[in-house]
A and B are shown apart, each in its own frame.
Chain A
Amino acid sequence: MKLYCLSGHPTLPCNVLKFKSTTIMLDCGLDMTSTLNFLPLPLVQSARLSNLPGWSLKDGNVFLDKELKECSGHVFVDSVPEFCLPETELIDLSTVDVILISNYHCMMALPYITEHTGFTGTVYATEPTVQIGRLLMEELVNFIERVPKAQSASLWKNKDIQRLLPSPLKDAVEVSTWRRCYTMQEVNSALSKIQLVGYSQKIELFGAVQVTPLSSGYALGSSNWIIQSHYEKVSYVSGSSLLTTHPQPMDQAALKNSDVLVLTGLTQIPTANPDGMVGEFFSNLALTVRNGGNVLVPCYPSGVIYDLLECLYQYIDSAGLSSLPFYFISPVANSSLEFSQIFAEWLCHNKQTKVYLPEPPFPHAELIQTNKLKHYPSIHGDFSNDFRQPCVVFTGHPSLRFGDVVHFMELWGKSSLNTVIFTEPDFSYLEALAPYQPLAMKCIYCPIDTRLNFIQVSKLLKEVQPLHVVCPEQYTQPPPAQPHRMDLMIDCQPPPMSYRRAEVLTLPFKRRYEKIEIMPELADSLVPVEMKPGISLATVSAVLHTKDNKHVLQPLPRPAQPTGGKKRKRVSDDVPDCKGPKPLLSGCIPVEQFVQTLEKHGFSDIKVEDTAKGHIVLLQEAETLIQIEEDSTHIICDNDETLRVRLRDLVLKFLQKF
């Protein structure tokens, strides 16, 4: 069993598991942190951005100044942002049989895999994962395509040139594999390969293994996966949460007794408690608004935003913010808000019960109804008519490189009354802000990551007791910034196996058993002999029939009836040469009784010697040795076959046959 690790990002995993003749891809996350190296794509022409000075090498060589721009000491690529794909060289991706998706954040590389690698298999995911995943992809494509950029930079990627660039460009990995965003056509094609599944649904893969999605509690439709054969079980845990937020709670019990547990997608901010962060978010929001400032929240169009809107719903009246406008701007804002209300079966119990009342499960419906929350596909159109300040704007993209957020950063960045509050933990907020420096607006970092933290992981592992844990290497050591925090790593016995990008792990267990079925008529014919209480044995003669990874013992075909004998036998009628099987022997030979029997049968001058493994019975007259050991008996006599057969029969008298 092998695990091919195609992504080094712990929360955007992409691994391939080879298990029992199947090749299963676990998630295909897309690492978008690469976009932080690019200049933002402004929706409205930005004089500041277009007038940034070009960057030149120290020797005054200016050939890169078209591609690289400098802003407040940082260098950015002036081109369409590109993404870092999972490894494509480590394994032939056309051999992948299935792709299991655990949540909508972990499927963003899907079009790259399904459309450009020769992939012919099936993708499995839950319905909300597909729908919301589609929204995220749609938003991404929209953000990038609506700001066409004529220029495409590639010179800087030259290895010799890259070495000369300042950090972080110099240290960027695998830049040659970075790719531009996919198109909507590719998205649609990729999504058409998805087969929808429900929690706890058992899916047979070629009869060899069974895969089952389980609720993981992190997002709408997010799942962990169980991959099992009859005797082996691998659990894949990715992006799970034990907090009570909107999704269905995590199903932990089904993860028990795994041989291997692959653990990815833990919280990216282990020191930040989500409750504390939500408090911080609202304190800063209220403080800014009370001072007459605006609040900008760069976010994804789905996920934490639902919880934030719910908290807002509870909080705005008490904080005296009832008249404050909230805007949610995204090409998919409307769909996201609507979709969240229709996936009732994927929601936590409280929200499910609301549906029966009937009430919308999420209170943002009421916020929209009362005009407190307004949503727009973009800043163009209706929004500019309704826009009034101070206000709170939720919009994407959290990398601050594309999307409507770029406009608000340019618009509000100059006033210290305004605040940008980062809630998505996927991007370093300092790096995200770098091309906007110098910036007067206040920046608050309130990462809200509800995924498992290390305390929860250690409790989970104690409870589900996997034999082996496999995880990204980042989880096996304290975070680099806090090397003393030994509590911020996975602590389990045996220690976890770690992987990094482009590594192949041989998972530490061997398959020992395979299940074989016996046809009823064959089973009928068996005559078990009880060897000792509770254990019966029978010999079986049958044909082993293997199809679709299922093994069946079928009765032997009847010997061909001699039909006249003249007809020529066809080759296919040949049955294996099946004489009646030799009987199997069992039991042990009591030496004293054996000697007595020998004497009775006329052998005299018998000597018994004890050896390390058993006994040697020496028939001195006949010059014959009978060597009796635990698992074998040998009769050694010179050329006297009659004697040997006599002795053999005497020995056999003491043994059972079946």
Chain B
Amino acid sequence: MHVPGETPAQAPHARAHPGPGLPVARSAGVCTVAECSRADSGLTSQPGQRRAGPVCTRGCPRTYPQPRLAYPHPRSPGLAMDPECSQLLPALCAALADPRQPVADDTCLEKLLDWFKTVTEAGSSLLLLEGSPCLVELLCQVPRAPGLSPGVLAFSLRLAGLLAAQEDCFQYLQQGQLLPGLFGEAGPLGGAAWTAPTVRSGWIQGLRAMAQHPSALRFLDDFGALDTVFSLQGDSSLFVASAAGQLLAHVLALCMGGPAGAQPGLQARDWPACAQRIVGHIEEALCSAAAPRVTQALHVLSTTFGRCHGPWGQVLWERLSPPVARLLEKDPVLAAHALVDLLLSVARSPALSSDSGLWETLAQTLGHLSPTQAGPLALGVLKLQDCPQALRTQAFDVLLQPLACVLKAAAEAPGPPGLPAAPAEDSAVVDVLLSSRSACVGLLCQTLAHLELLLPTPQRPSPWPQAALLGAAVTVLQFCRGSAVPASGVGSRLCVTLAGCVRVQRAALDFLGALSQDTGPRELLPRVFAVLLDYLASPDSSPTVLRKAFQATLRWLLSSPQPPGSCDLDPHTQRFLGELLPVLQKRLCSPCWEVRDSGLEFLAQVTRSWAGQAGFRDALLASEVPELAEQLLQDPESYVRASAVTAVGLLSGRGLHAARGSPERPGGPQSLLLDLLHVLSTDSEGFPRRAAMQVFTEWLRDGHAEVAADPERFVARVLQAASQDLDWEVRAQGLELARVFLAQMLGQPGPDCPYAVAPPAAPAPGRLAQALRALCRVRLFEFAFRALFDCDRAVAQKSCDLLLFLRDRAAPCDGPQGMGGGPDAASAEATLQRWRAGEQGQPLGPLEPEAAVAVLRALDLEGLRGALAESSDHVERSPQSLLQDMLATVGVLGDHEADCY
């Protein structure tokens, strides 16, 4: 489905790092477009810059080798640029290099770079350059053009890097000293433009693209670029700082992934010079007392070890593990989060995980870090494939400690087995729990989330202390409600800190819900149900907490054990259900629509799963819940109406609906079908109408009693209402309903499995003709044909598939009678032509089966399906169109007078 405003060409940027200058919403503290364009004055000099290597300050085109081809043949091998683009490129390059013609839209430049990337990936960059001398000219002019916008400058740097990624092209550019002109001191690096974060980012990204071969690595080293990159690690723009770190990691990984990596017994001194300098820099940073520097170094290392798993990695770790280990000696540990990332990254590296020293370091780190910092490390350790059992035990203890403390704070007894209780470690956790509300809440939420993540994984520790964790989750929830009785001073403080804390309530309810998947001790079930009921019934539960409570309740209900050999509920569950339904009743009357909505969703979900349970059916029918749910069909909030439609539809489908026609209902008895049809045809919002369509589809599929009485009439009425709907999802759902009806009339649509032995047998001709007549009577053809030309592609595609199936099935109808043509078909075709042209106003008129089939045949459905499969902007997305657009915006194409208004 094409989303207006987002062309597929933009999509890669949305995923990738949003380069400076790109108008992408960012968080505070990150450079923005405004920031980039503002910072265009003032000179900055980069400290510690080396002035080694040949630096050309002019980047003179005269010294440049002339292109070998004056104008390339469009189909030159390896050059993926069509002639139209080649023709437009010089004008665009000239426009870009002209400061008087600013490029208004930075996204164009991003798209242009994307296109160049595909071109260079498909063929030789050298040929491209030779074929388009304007590019070289652009790259030459850019560093010397005063007042050029930072966006264009950054673009040029990135383009140069992209081109120089191929070694021959790098050499070619080097001959003209063009690269030093762009990336060296003579380029923007020494100029006023450097103050713009966009330019600095472009500079790094250019180098990052270029750094693909040894020559580029030498270039980096020779030109002193590395020093600049080091200093940019602390850049004020987070994008630039992050890109600098990424570049260093990339270079390191490149060095270590090279052919040298295969040779055993290598020493660090065998690395390329720039790798040695980076490692030296990292080593120095790790010994620094400044946390940001340590963090930067650790980030670079984490990224490097994440990519490089060869023997070089081992050499690197051997060299750097001592300074990393020294970090642990400080109190508090500097850059603990980054350290955890690094250690986990190293531990995941197959080459390094056999290192026993590493496990020792991990164990030591787990012991040193504060409970909040150690949590992520413990989770990471537990998720590792091969890890010593002792370390796993230690990590699990770290994760469990906070919950153990909570349990201890509330229980007078020594606490349930399964949780650690080492007093020495306790104290650190207790300190955090008591230090401040935010620290306590943070630690508990983190612990609960980590355990929830661990719960479904195969690596989760065994034995799993289900009973203790259940007890802990329940206790945490009780503390949050103020109903836990503290057994110690810690407990009293926890009581004060956690009372009414919505964040912890949500995390604990999620965790409690997740625990339902495990078979636990049955005796805890009443406690779980009691705390859930307490939350559901409490007037103080916020709507979000209530929603989580409903979700957790559903999970526990559905996982509650059934007595063997019985289709009834177990006594705990049955009792709970008896208490739950009055609460649900009250919730359905809540003045807060979110609560009514959550209640209805819960009702629908539990009905879907438990409609067959006699215990549930009896309890539900004895309550007023079904009637209340039906009353909510008139709720003023559309979401609630939609949920009510779904819930009531399900209840009705399962024979659990409220007794109709009671004297209290004004207007007398009326079928639910009519109510829902009323929603479908009159509701002002889309959600209830969509929900009604889904219910109808389900009713048709399941043979609901009211539908089964006269399915044709039902389908006709629903399709008629759906065809006029403005919401495309309702129309699409109408096609789904039509598909179900078709399947019931003609048999299932074609086999989903392409390897099916034989296609399903076609229906007998007599039955087929009968079915076709039925389809005509319910005006399914008209609905599908109209949908075929729907302005929403998804609807048209669905309709196309439906009609193709119908056409294939209708084949036998082309029998002896020869159903082709006829006046009916002609007029229908004419109407369709008009529909296709956008005149949807005219009705199709009654169609006879013969005419319908004839029209079906006449349509080029395959062709239409092909066209619909193309994205809606496939014409506008071409590079040629991009170039034209850009030229048009800078006025080169000279169409300014002819304004579209």
Contacts and interface: CB of A to CB of B under 8 A. Distances in A.
A304 interface: no
A497 B484 CA distance: 29
A273 B586 CA distance: 18
Contacts of B635: 318
B628 interface: yes
Contact of B539 (A280, A285, A292, A318): A280
A319 B493 CA distance: 42
Interface string A458-498: 00000000000000000000000010111100000000000
Contact of A485 (B482, B493, B595): B482
Contact of A276 (B482, B495, B540): B540
A484 B486 contact: yes
Interface residues of A, number: 29
Nearest to B491: A484
10 tightest A-B CB contacts, nearest first? A276-B539, A280-B539, A286-B589, A487-B496, A318-B636, A276-B540, A282-B591, A283-B589, A283-B586, A287-B589
Given A272-B540, A273-B540, A318-B636, A485 B592 contact: no
A283 B492 contact: no
Contacts of A485: 482, 495, 499
A53 to B, nearest CB: 36
Given A276-B539, A283-B591, 18 more contacts: A273-B539, A276-B538, A276-B540, A279-B539, A279-B591, A279-B595, A282-B589, A282-B591, A283-B586, A284-B586, A287-B586, A290-B624, A292-B664, A315-B591, A319-B589, A320-B631, A446-B539, A485-B499
Interface in A257-290: 271-273, 276-280, 282-287, 290
Interface string B134-158: 0000000000000000000000000
Contacts of B589: 282-287, 290, 319
A178 B587 CA distance: 45
Contact of A486 (B485, B495, B591): B495
A280 B538 CA distance: 9
B539 A277 contact: yes
A518 interface: no
Contact of A290 (B496, B587, B590, B628): B628
22 contacts: A272-B539, A273-B500, A276-B539, A276-B540, A279-B590, A282-B591, A283-B586, A283-B589, A283-B590, A284-B586, A284-B589, A285-B589, A287-B628, A290-B628, A317-B636, A318-B637, A319-B591, A320-B634, A482-B482, A484-B495, A486-B493, A486-B496
> Considering residues A278, A284, A484, A485, which has the most beta carbons from chain B within 10 angstroms of its beta carbon?
A484
Contacts of B634: 320
A61 interface: no
Interface in B472-518: 482, 484-486, 491-493, 495-496, 499-500
B169 to A, nearest CB: 66
B585 interface: yes
A149 B491 CA distance: 54
A292 B637 CA distance: 24
Contacts of B628: 287, 290
Interface in A208-223: none
Nearest to A271: B482
A441 interface: no
B681 interface: no
B541 interface: yes
Interface string B584-612: 01110111100100000000000000000
Nearest to A491: B496
A287 B500 CA distance: 27
Contacts of B591: 278-279, 282-283, 311, 315, 318-319
Nearest to B632: A320
B587 A283 contact: yes
Interface in A240-272: 271-272
B540 A287 contact: no
A486 to B, nearest CB: 5
Nearest to B542: A276
A291 interface: yes
Contacts of A320: 631, 634
Nearest to B493: A486
Interface string A316-333: 011110000000000000
Contacts of A286: 589
A282 B590 contact: yes
A315 B486 CA distance: 40
B587 to A, nearest CB: 7
Interface string B246-288: 0000000000000000000000000000000000000000000
A272 B541 CA distance: 11
A174 to B, nearest CB: 34
A446 B500 CA distance: 18
Contacts of B491: 484
B539 to A, nearest CB: 4
> Considering residues A279, A280, A446, which has the most beta carbons from chain B within 10 angstroms of its beta carbon?
A279
Contacts of A291: 624
B830 to A, nearest CB: 50
Contacts of A311: 591
Interface in B618-635: 624, 627-628, 631, 634-635
A246 to B, nearest CB: 18
A487 B494 CA distance: 10
Nearest to B586: A283
Nearest to B589: A286
A276 B535 CA distance: 12
A271 B495 CA distance: 13
A285 B591 CA distance: 10
A287 B585 contact: yes
Contacts of B636: 317-318
Interface string B205-234: 000000000000000000000000000000
A284 B585 CA distance: 9
Contacts of B482: 271, 482, 485, 487
Nearest to B498: A487
Contacts of B595: 279
> Considering residues B496, B585, B587, B591, which has the most beta carbons from chain A within 10 angstroms of its beta carbon?
B591
